[in-house]
Structures are given as structure tokens and as C-alpha cells.
Amino acid sequence: MRRLAVLTSGGDAPGMNAAIRAVVEEGLHHNIEVIGVQQGYKGLVEGNFRPLGINSVSQAIRRGGTILYSARFPEFSQLSVQEKAVQVMEENGIEGLIAIGGDGTFRGALALTKLGFPAVGIPATIDNDIPGTEYTIGFDSAFSAATTAIDMISDTAASHNRTFVVEVMGHNAGDIAIWAGVAVGADAIIIPEEEYFMGDIARRVRTSRKHGKDHGLIILAEGVMGVEDFVAAYSEEAPEQDVRGVNLSHIQRGGSPTGRDRVFATLMGAKSVDLILHGQSGIYVGIIGEELAVFDMIDTLASSKHKVRDDLFELNQALTDRY
Ligand code: F6P
């Protein structure tokens, strides 16, 4: 193999650039040319390519977002569009693809594999919702950004003895809500994976206020409902509380990646190149514990569910269940 392509697709995630940089550096280490595909699968079909060298990636490790841009491109589910992508890559002498992104990105990579084109995935999404791996690039940065933002909100919440409901991202997964919720000592964490009762949430906030806490904090995962609807329903249940709602929205997807995201992205980026050079395809590189692990994309995409950390959720429930 002489020439590899790398792309990022789906929602951007801090650390994607660190993975791109590792792919380029590992490629150079093996004397392979790495071509950057701009705007994900859309750019692949359009031949929107640019060569990547050390000069284009050396500073990228500390930058959020993706230097290759990203796009959502549902048309890539069509066979004719996938075949066109293979044709464009072959015309450009590209012999393999590293695809960085979430499950939609893996679906695209798997389709190329089925057409006989080598493709390997790297999991990158702030939602942490890919079955198999315990870790996806961007999650650590996103939950840390959410934690910082909620800490700021806590200052003003405490000054006015208010209850704040903070909506965080996560698509249909509660990971950001659980981790940020534990990190800020939330009174309640509301996630799609667990039932909740407004009366019980109000009781938790009330009892913590009774024991001297000067504000209330409820962390709401976006997959449950929007913060405005939640605040309306909660205020009926707790009319004595002065309640405000905040949606952290895309703030938590931006910014410089954490050291942890950079390190794991670097590990996975380098490994993906080694695997594709050894003839592997239709797989993705993930993390179990602190170690690299390799997963089959077919199994991953067929598997119904990513699992959230129930133990952390239960711990927070226990800590906030006061009398
Ligand atoms: O998948 C990442 C994510 O940020 C989700 O948490 C969120 O639901 C979605 O993307 C938002 O997408 P967009 O930026 O296209 O509005």
C-alpha cells in the first residue's frame, strides 16, 4: 500500500485532529502518503482531497473540531454513491481508508469494505455511544467542558438559592449527563436509559436544601426531553423553588481536547494504520480499560445497545437520597 485516505464524518469531536495527526505520522513512518478527505463521505465522492504532511498536522493535536471538516451525507447509504466513492479513490491511487466518527461513519466504512475496498474505523463522538469500545474520542473533552460550564452556573445558582436544570448533549445516550452530573455533585441526573419521577427529583432537591445546600442542580440528557419542557413540568411539582433552565448545546462540543482524548486518539490513530497495512478491514479500533482493542464493524452495528455506566448513575442516586 502506497497511499491512504483519512476522513472525519458526523458531528465533530475534540480529539479528531489528534487522530488525524497520528494517522499521518504513522503513515509517514511506513513511507505511506496520507491524503485528507475534506467534508467526510461527501468529499470522498466529490474528490475533495488534500495531501497531509507533518506541516499540516503538527499543531492540530491541540485544536478542537476537525481540520478536515465534517458533513452529514445520508446519500452515502445508496450503493451507486458508494461505488462512485470507490471509483474516485481508485482513480486517485488511494488503496485504503481510515474513517473517524460515530456509528454512521462506520456504516459508510463497512459499505466500502463490502465493495472490496479496505476501510478501518476510529470511534469519535462526544456521545460515547458506540457499542463495544468503552471510550470514544471527544467524550472526555465534552464532559469536562460541561463540568466547567455547570460549575459556573452553580455560582450564580447558589447566590440566588435557585434550582438550575442544565441540558447536556449525548443524542440518545446518557453518558455526558452521568459523568458531568457526578463531577458537579448534581442532586439528580435524568437520562434516557432510566425511569424518572418528577416528585422524586423535587424531593431530592428539597432534602439537600434542608440539609444546608444553597442551590439545586439537575442534569438533563437531551435524549429525555428539551430543558424548557422539563422546567415547565418540574416547576409544577416544586412551586416553592425558583427554577431556571440552561441548554449547554454546542459549547460542550468545542474547545481544545483534553490530554486523555489526545492520548487515546493518538493510540487509535497509529493502530488503525498498522491494521490496514496488515490487510485488515471492516474493523474498528477502540479502548477497553486503558488498552487498545479491535472490534468487528458488523457485530458493532448489529449490536443494539451501548451501555452507560449504571454504577455511576446508581452512586449518584444513593448519594442524593437523603432524609
Ligand atoms: O453526535 C454529537 C451530537 O453533538 C449529539 O450530542 C447531538 O444530538 C447532535 O450531535 C447535534 O447535531 P448537530 O450539531 O448537527 O445539531
Exposure b/e, 50-75, CB count within 10 A at least 16 = b: eebeeebbeebbebbbbbbbbbebee
pTM here is 0.96
224 torsion bin: left (phi>0), alpha (psi -120 to 50), beta (else): alpha
247-279 confidence digits (pLDDT tens): 999 999 999 999 999 999 999 999 999 999 999
pLDDT of residue 303: 78
Which segments in the chain show pLDDT lower than 70?
A: 304
The reply to whether ligand 1 has any atom less than 6 angstroms from the CB of 127 is yes
Establish whether domains 3-138+257-303 and 140-254 are of one fold.
yes
Atom of ligand 1 nearest to the CA of 171: 8
pLDDT of residue 323: 81
The mean predicted confidence, pLDDT, of the chain is 96
Q: Which CATH superfamily groups domain 140-254?
A: Phosphofructokinase domain (3.40.50.460)
CATH number of 3-138+257-303: 3.40.50.450
pLDDT of residue 298: 87
Q: Is 288 helix (H, G, I), strand (E, B) or coil?
A: strand
Catalytic residues: 127
Alpha helices in the chain (DSSP H): 16-29, 40-46, 54-57, 79-91, 103-114, 139-159, 175-184, 198-210, 227-237, 259-277, 297-302, 310-319
pLDDT of residue 304: 67
The residue contributing the CA closest to ligand 1 atom 12 is 11
Domain boundaries, the chain: 3-138+257-303, 140-254
According to DSSP, the residues that pair with 293 across neighbouring strands are: 286
The residue contributing the CA closest to ligand 1 atom 5 is 171
- Report, in angstroms and rounded to the nearest whole number, the Rg of the chain calculated over CA atoms: 22
